[in-house]
Structures are given as structure tokens and as C-alpha cells.
Amino acid sequence: MPGSTAWNGRHGRRRLEGRISSWAVRATAAAACGALALTACGSTKDSGAAGAKGDGGGKVGVILPLLTSPFWQSYNDYVPKMAKAEGVDALKTVNSNSDPSQQITDITNELNQGVAGLVVAPLDSAAVEAGLDQAERKGVPVVAVDVAPDRGKVAMVVRANNVAYGEKACRYLGAHVTSGKVVQIMGDLASVNGRERSEAFRACVRKNYPRLKVLEIPAKWESDTAASKLDTLLNANPDLKGIYLQAGGVYLAPTLQTLKSKKMLRKAGTAGHIVVVSNDGIPQELDAIRKGEIDATVSQPADAYAKYGMYYIKAALRGKTFQPGPTDHGSTIVKLPNGILEDQLPAPLVTKDNVDDPQLWGNTVR
């Protein structure tokens, strides 16, 4: 396309004489782009996405992994508040109900509605690639929250350091249990979160606390599975000394109920207490710490996940990109081995010493 008031003579066009007004240039360019819709002037993006790109506007779809966990219920509540604060026009959230194939269908449905952007919390780090590829073909940017995809294009992953989750749980248990059996109730190993927490906990215990024996329960983020397998494990190992819950939102209630049913739920500081460290930072975990039912949790920031999910999707719609390094909100952007950027948000360890800290998101949702 010409960039001045004259056409290039090589194309057999006569030079236009005189100065063409700005409105005429715009009209000519528009007509040319209409005729060359699939060349540099045009786009294969849906109209909704194309119209929004560059100004941060347009509808944004938000896809949840599940709503049976208090953590995701809290995240769901934060989404419209944070969307409003960041100036993002977010549609009503969609719940994939713990089904990775349903999540791909949900992504397809949102794209077919012409969303300009997507904020997705992947259920399966590998399976979500199919949805990400669809979004890329339509020119729709995606921000992943909580779980990083193994492959596929995303503008940013908003997540805490899940390796640190496993290590913090390991070090707390190691400091309070000198020897004996501990169990980690693991998440879904199809998720990078489940893999990283499990591997980090296992490696940390092996390196630093050789007198601890690690037992494992693969529970796939399912409360019923966790309860059933923990019951069986306690029958065979009544001398268990510690438990690491990789997701308090789904494992806390069934774990406490199982311990109680076996008369093994004893208050922290009393004889026979089983030391329990959790992940999530939901209000129920904080209350359990106050009661002495569990000892610690790693507070996964549901509020910040919603806030920065919206922040990064708005930035992506404006064409803004980021580089690895420290941020202005107390986190660090890192480049993952697959080349994807991840903003690793702070996730503090919570114990009886800081459980009433008003800065903890779990203390703000009562």
C-alpha cells in the first residue's frame, strides 16, 4: 500500500498531482484494505477481537476450573471486582467443572461469541493446548491463571511459585516432626501444580530430613478420593506423624473429618497431634490454625490471581509485552523452560504467629 500522496510508478499508476487531503488518503486506504482483506491490511481475526486489539477494550471471557473449592469460589467472587477496578469488560465466568474436555468446549464457546481476550485457569497443563491453539488462530490473547500450560501461546501466566509451596511444607514438617511417617495428599499430576508441589516436597525431604518417610496419596484434587485413601492409609499406618495437603480448598474438610472419625484429631501442642500443613489460605484453613486443628498453610493469593489476570489481559489487548525481572507489585516475572512468561506472585507461609494478619486475603472475605 502507498504511504504518501503518490502511487509507485512500477505498479503502472499515474502520479497524482497536487496534495491529497487527509480524508481522501483515509478513504483510499480503507477501500484498498477492503479489497485486500487477507493481505497486510486485513486480518483473519474475529471482528470482536480485531476491533478491541490495541485499545484494551472488548469483552473478556473468564473460565474457571471448578467451583467446589472455597479457593475457587473466592477467586470467582473477586473476578468481577478486579475486572471493574482494572477497566476490563469481563463476561460472566464459566465453570468447567473439573473436566478438561469441557474446558476446551468452554474456550471454543467463548471464542465463538467473539471475545477479545480470555483469562483461563487450566485444569490440565497439556490438554489446554487445544484451546490455546484455537485462540491463537483467532488472534485472541490468553492469560493463564494458577496453572501454566505445557505448550501453547499465552500472554502471561499469573501464578505463585509452586515449587516453593512444596518446599515450605517440607521445611515446616521437618522442623516439627523429627522422624517417622508423613504423607502428602497430592493434586492431579496432569497439572504442573500437582507435579511441582509433589516433586519439590519429595526432594526436599530426601535432601534435608532423611529420618522422615514420605507416603503419598494421588488424589487428583478430589475430596472423596482424598478421604477414602487417607482412611485406608491410616488403617495401615496409625503412627503417622504429619500430613501435607496440596490443596486445602478440596482436602481440608475431608482430612479433618477422617482424623476426627478415627479419634486422631488432636489439638496442636498436645500428645498425639498430627502436624498438618496445607496450601491455599482459605478462611477455613485460617480458622483451623486458630483452633489448633492444623498447623500451617501457604496462602495462595486468590485476590491477586484475579487482579493480575485482569491486568495482564488488558495489557495484552493493548499490545503490551513484558520481560523477565522484578515487577512493581512485589513479584518476579520468570521465563519458563517452554519460553512462556510467568508472574510469580508472593505466597506467604501462615502459622499461628501471623494467622490474624489483615493483609492475608483469607481474612478479608468473611
Specify the CATH number of the domain 49-160+302-346.
Answer: 3.40.50.2300
* CA 115/CA 255 separation, integer angstroms: 40
| 64's grid cell | 474457571
Q: Which residues contact 157 (CB under 8 A, 6 or more apart)?
A: 143, 144, 145, 147, 148, 149, 336, 340, 341, 342, 343
Domain ranges of the chain: 49-160+302-346, 162-299
Match domain 162-299 to its CATH number in 3.40.50.300, 3.40.50.2300, 1.10.540.10, 3.30.300.160: 3.40.50.2300
3-state secondary structure 178-215: CCEEEEEEECCCCCHHHHHHHHHHHHHHHHHCCCEEEE
> Which stretches of the chain drop beneath a pLDDT of 50?
1-52
- What letter represents residue 330's amino acid? G
Cell 517440607 locates to 170
pLDDT of residue 57: 80
Domains 49-160+302-346 and 162-299 share a fold: yes
Query: What order do you get walking across the sheet with 212-218 strand by strand?
Result: 212-218, 180-186, 242-245, 275-280, 296-299, 349-350
pLDDT of residue 339: 96
Q: Are 273 and 180 in contact (CB under 8 A)?
A: no
pLDDT of residue 250: 96
pLDDT of residue 55: 64
